[in-house]
Amino acid sequence: MKNKFWPISKLGWISFVCTILFLVMIFTKLAGNLLRLPFSAQIIAVLGVIGFSLALFSFIFKKDRGGAVKGSLVVCSIVVIWLIMEYVIFPT
């Protein structure tokens, strides 16, 4: 059996694109000098949550086991943990 990197289903592709957009936007937001984005980090994190939910749905129900989907799950699960820590466990 050959391991594949690219997603098979359309949901896997959408989750992969959401994750890449999240990473590009958050790194440009953190760099600051490259490009000024008018979004806060929490609004950008919504892309990560969307990517996580689509990747999870694609992984469980569509049986998409591509490396990009697994990478989306890992990256976006960190975002979900960050949001849970910020708004549920340690609210201000």
Higher pLDDT, 1 or 86: 86
Domain boundaries, the chain: 12-31+39-89
C-alpha 70/C-alpha 46 separation (Å) is 19
According to the model, what pLDDT value does residue 13 have?
A: 94
| Residue from 91, 83, 72, 12 nearest 42 by CA | 83
Residues 8-52: pLDDT tens digits? 899 999 999 999 999 998 888 888 777 777 888 888 899 999 999
Residue whose entry in the numeric block shows the structure tokens 């699960």: 77
Q: What is the pTM of this model?
A: 0.84
